[in-house]
Amino acid sequence: MDFTYTDTQDMIRDTLSRFLADTYDFETRQKFIASDDGRDPAIWTALAQELGMLGASFSEDHGGLGGGALENAIIMEELGKVLGIEPYLPTVVIAGGALKAVGGAQADKYIPEIIAGNMIVAFAYAEPQGRYDLANLKTSAKKDAAGYVLNGHKSVVYAAPWASHLLVTARTGGGQRDREGVSLFLIDANLPGIVRRDYPTVDGSRASEIYFENVAIPAEALLGGEGAGLPLIEQIVDEATVAVCAEATGVMQKLHEGTLEYTQQRKQFGIPIAKFQVLQHRMVDMFMEVEQARSMTIMGTLKLGLSADERKAAVSAAKNKVARGAKFVGQNAIQTHGGIGITQELAIGHYFKRATMIEGQFGSADYHIDRFEQLTLAA
Amino acid sequence: MDMEFSPEDLAFQQEVRTFIAENYPADLRGKQDEGDELSKEDFLSWHRILYKKGWVAPAWPVEYGGTGWTPTQRFIFSEETARADCIRLMPFGLAMVGPVIYTFGTPEQKARFLPRILSGEDWWCQGYSEPGAGSDLASLRTVAVPDGSDYIVNGQKTWTTMAQHADWGFFLVRTDKDAKQQEGISFLLIDMKSPGITVRPIITLGGEHEVNEVFLEDVRVPQAQRVYEENKGWTCAKFLLAHERTGIAGVAASKRGVEKVKEIARTEVDGDKPLLQNAFFKRKIAELEIDLTALEFTELRSLAGPNAGKGPGPESSLLKIKGSEIQQRLTELTLEAVGHYGAPYFRGFGDGDNEHPIGPDYAHRAAPTYFNVRKTTIYGGSNEIQRNIIAKMVLGL
Ligand SMILES: Cc1cc2nc3c(=O)[nH]c(=O)nc-3n(C[C@H](O)[C@H](O)[C@H](O)COP(=O)(O)OP(=O)(O)OC[C@H]3O[C@@H](n4cnc5c(N)ncnc54)[C@H](O)[C@@H]3O)c2cc1C
Ligand SMILES: Cc1cc2nc3c(=O)[nH]c(=O)nc-3n(C[C@H](O)[C@H](O)[C@H](O)COP(=O)(O)OP(=O)(O)OC[C@H]3O[C@@H](n4cnc5c(N)ncnc54)[C@H](O)[C@@H]3O)c2cc1C
């Protein structure tokens, strides 16, 4: 057993964290999330071209560094530490993950483009009525002579305003909640008939409501088998879920460190408030949550390659634990800061916001404990 | 022992209900429900209606404009106004400085200030906290130095709620630097339009402008605006803090909150069922409702128990702790209930603000409200401080 990182993995972490320290301090981040565009495109280009970061989790055949989920976790954790809004998750982890899984000509075509930073992909999977159920789809893709015709409404699609491509889940058959009949498509984001309503999100990113109105998509856009896409979608969402757990670990670590630092400086009753035992114990509990989030993220990441059921149970265990930990650490970081914690000025509140959104991303604590129970406690 | 309302109480309840139904302004209906940021005028229009009816200050003694209601009637009144989602009146004049003035003020102060608090002509703010004096309020450093019949005040206050609207503020200032911490503090009423006062907004996590920094530079304040004796302001401060805490339990508003969450969970779909039928979610709502009932009956006991009428004691800390925690859990459940639609943001990006809600109407304030309501365990004396109070004053530790 070995939980140490390889030299390459250490190198990825160090390179990225140095780069982010130079380019992504809190004030700079606040400036570009408030800009019209909501981001600084130069960062993405630099991640791809200067650092080669976007290739870390792809095979050498495609021009990558030969890594996988662990590399994604390392990168997501570093992004978490700076509240990075870069669309690494949808582009590399999710779209990249889907392309790796299907392989062939599609992978050969798109993965080098992702690595080069030429492509940003948003994952359009959620629907207003769907909650966290990946199969609950009203969006339809009807086959015609040229390919498919796409109709439907996708909600809260993170990074969509920046995307060159969309990864879309849609029904090619079956009823609204059937496991069969679900397909996955990678399409150009600017096809005629795609209508977007863009908006900022509470955690500093950008997202859209996307409406597909008779969008004609080519047959080659289909990733994997027609109507049999759900297992693939579940797999990439599980990969995304542990990646978000990794991000959460970074966010939680900063919430905890920020709290330790603040309570040692802040004096009330003539002493640093860190001297009050009730706060000390709370910060110890926060520390334990951070460490366990890190452990569960590693556990979940390492189990991604197992059978579907083992993978799902592991990912759900990780997400449930991390979601509860993120809530505990986030709420207590704010509480321990007192009034200053609830202002826009300090970074701590923004870490809290991201931690809060992560709690629900790809399924809440309740959703995942339910899935865990179904898989592990079946009668 | 008896938990039924008397026939008189029931008649009173009906009277209040009818009054609200007939007099609550139509354009304010639902505003608080939606979680919209309320304007000064929103607060004042309901305030004036209650004032005209003589119901604006139920807790005050009759001689100063109170209603003479029993504690039960006051409870019914607050229950009914919350049930109808009436805008909550600003506490700074009615619940805080008003009682200080009628308890400790001079006849001139009473005559000058109390009627204007009741009518809503003066909007008050509370200048207690400072950057270095939060939980440790007694370490405040704003100073008032006598100069003829005035004081010259210098210092900085912070977290001053709604100071942007205020006509007057009640301030704790240091009048004797050499005295022990809690001594040497005085309680001053300051005209917020006095030269030397600057109010600067602090924007909170949901994007709201609710609190402010207040800078005082050589502000001239007549000594006649000091309440109670010089250097004995702590007496007023403590009296006021206990008053501040009682309203904080918020039982009636939380009851309404529970109904709102249930309604959302009935509308949201989870799989092929309403979210309200999800076993986990249902359990959390049920637990919340039970905890709220425990809080309610604890409050009722304190209203009707042997200490009733003696004013709020350290037990009020219990109501503050549990009430604020329940308010936070309600916002947690709401955010959870709205799923993905908790993410869109509506304020705080200037020109980029979203004009129209994304997703269902009840979703658009879920996250900002969740962030905002983290304040309830911090303000009015943090919950840690309240626990310290119970440990010391109730348990004798
Ligand atoms: C089943 C069992 C087996 C044991 N076996 C052994 C054994 O084989 N050999 C042996 O030598 N001992 C043994 N012990 C003793 C054990 O180590 C002591 O019980 C333990 O150290 C606590 O001491 P105490 O019981 O005197 O409690 P106390 O020290 O009196 O503590 C009482 C409470 O006060 C709390 N407390 C104390 N100090 C602080 C502080 N500074 N801050 C916050 N809270 C504080 C404690 O956490 C505890 O909750 C055993 C005890 C048990 C229950
Ligand atoms: C929304 C909002 C509105 C407010 N409105 C007003 C207003 O109108 N007027 C006004 O004067 N003030 C107002 N306040 C200030 C409020 O009363 C203070 O924020 C509060 O007293 C806490 O002080 P602090 O923020 O400086 O936190 P600190 O005192 O710095 O506390 C930081 C943390 O340390 C903990 N802590 C401190 N001391 C102890 C201890 N001895 N034991 C254990 N834990 C401890 C606290 O509980 C908290 O978790 C408002 C605050 C907020 C958030």
At B310 the pLDDT is 58
Question: Which of B92, B129, B188, B245 best tests ligand 2's pocket when mutated (most atoms within 8 Å of CB)?
Answer: B129
Tens digit of each residue's pLDDT (9 = 90 or more) over A325-351: 999 999 999 999 999 999 999 999 999
How close A156 comes to chain B (CA, Å)? 6
pLDDT the model gives residue B355: 58
- pLDDT of B127-181, one tens digit each? 999 999 999 999 999 999 999 999 999 999 999 999 999 999 999 999 999 988 8
Cβ-based contacts of A344 with chain B (< 8 Å) = 203-205, 207, 348
Mean pLDDT confidence for B268-289: 95
Min Cα separation B53/chain A (Å): 37
Instruction: Using a CB–CB cutoff of 8 Å, tell me whether A334 touches chain B.
Output: yes
Chain B: residue nearest A266 by CA?
Answer: B132
Searching chain A, which residue's CA lies closest to the CA of residue B385? Answer: A278
Residue A202 predicted with pLDDT over 60: yes
- Residue A10 confidence (pLDDT): 96
**Contact between A338 and B358 using a beta-carbon 8 Å cutoff:** no
Give the ligand whose atoms come closest to the C-alpha of residue B387.
Answer: 2
- Starting from the CA of residue A284, give the closest ligand: 1
Which atom from ligand 2 is nearest to the alpha carbon of B211? Answer: 3
Q: Is A192 exposed, middle or buried (0-12, 13-18, 19+ CB in 10 A)?
A: exposed
Distance A284 CA to ligand 1 centre (A): 19
Question: Ligand 1: distance of its center to the CA of B387 in Å?
Answer: 25
Q: What is the 3-state secondary structure (H, E, C) of chain A?
A: CCCCCCHHHHHHHHHHHHHHHHHCCHHHHHHHHHCCCCCCHHHHHHHHHHCCHHHCCCCHHHCCCCCCHHHHHHHHHHHHHCCCCCCHHHHHHHHHHHHHHHCHHHHHHHHHHHHCCCCCEEEECCCCCCCCCCCCCCCEEEECCCEEEEEEEEEEEECHHHCCEEEEEEECCCCCCCCCCEEEEEEECCCCCEEEEEEEECCCCEEEEEEEEEEEEEHHHEECCCCECHHHHHHHHHHHHHHHHHHHHHHHHHHHHHHHHHHHHCEECCEEHHHCHHHHHHHHHHHHHHHHHHHHHHHHHHCCCCCHHHHHHHHHHHHHHHHHHHHHHHHHHHHHHHHHHHECCCHHHHHHHHHHHHHHCCCCHHHHHHHHHHHHCCC
Cβ–Cβ contact A17 with B under 8 A: no
Q: What is the pLDDT of residue B239?
A: 87
- Mean pLDDT is lowest, of A20-34, B251-265, B343-357, for B343-357
- Looking at residue B71, its pLDDT comes to 82
Q: Residue B48 has what pLDDT?
A: 97
Sorting pLDDT into bands at 50, 70 and 90, what band is A172?
Answer: very high
The interface residues of chain A toward chain B in range 56-115, judged by CB-CB distance below 8 A, are: none
pLDDT of residue B212: 98
Per-residue model confidence as pLDDT tens digits over A90-145: 999 999 999 999 999 999 999 999 999 999 999 999 999 999 999 999 999 999 99
Who lines ligand 2 at CB under 6 A? A 266, 268-269, 273, 276, 278-279, 335-336, 338-339, 342; B 126-129, 134-135, 159-161, 210-211, 375, 378-379, 381-382, 384-385, 388
CA-nearest of A64, A73, A156 to A113 is: A64
Q: Please give the pLDDT value at position A312.
A: 98
B214, B321, B345, B389: best to mutate for the A interface, most A CBs within 10 A: B345
- CA pair distance A154, A211, nearest whole angstrom: 7
Nearest atom (ligand 2) to Cα of A342: 53
Query: For residues B87 and B362, what is the distance between their CA atoms, to the nearest angstrom?
Result: 18
Closest residue to atom 51 of ligand 2, CA basis: B379
Q: Cα dist. A95→A37, A120, A136, A195 in Å?
A: 22, 9, 20, 21
The pLDDT of residue B192 is above 60: yes
Q: Which of B135, B367, B384 sits opposite A202 (nearest CB)?
A: B367
pLDDT at B115 over 60: yes
The overall average pLDDT reported for chain A is: 97
Q: Does A341 touch chain B (CB under 8 A)?
A: yes
Residue B316 confidence class, pLDDT cut points 50, 70, 90: confident
Ligand 2 atom having least distance to the Cα of A340 = 25
pLDDT at B365 over 80: yes
Chain A residues in contact with B214 by the CB 8 A cut-off are none
Percent of chain B with pLDDT over 90: 73
- Which phi and psi angles does B335 have, rounded to 5°? -60, -40
CA distance B350 to chain A (A): 9
Q: Check B336 against A366: CB less than 8 A apart.
A: yes
Q: Does A49 touch chain B (CB under 8 A)?
A: no
Residue-level pLDDT at A379? 66
Of B80, B210, B244, B299, catalytic: B244
Q: Is the model's pLDDT at B309 over the cut of 90?
A: no
**Ligand 2: distance of its center to the CA of A279 in Å?**
14
- Smallest Cα distance from A343 to chain B, Å: 4
Could you tell me the pTM of the whole model?
0.95
* Residue B244: active-site member: yes
- Mean pLDDT across the stretch A232-253? 98
Confidence of residue B248 (pLDDT cuts 50, 70, 90): low
State the distance from the centre of ligand 1 to the C-alpha of A291, rounded, in angstroms: 26
CA distances from B2 to B5, B92, B305 (A): 8, 34, 12
Are the Cβ atoms of B344 and A201 closer than 8 angstroms? yes
CA–CA dist A126, B249 (Å, integer): 38
Q: What is the ipTM of this complex?
A: 0.94
Residues of chain B with C-beta less than 8 angstroms from the C-beta of A169:
none
What's the pLDDT band for A184 if we cut at 50, 70, 90?
very high
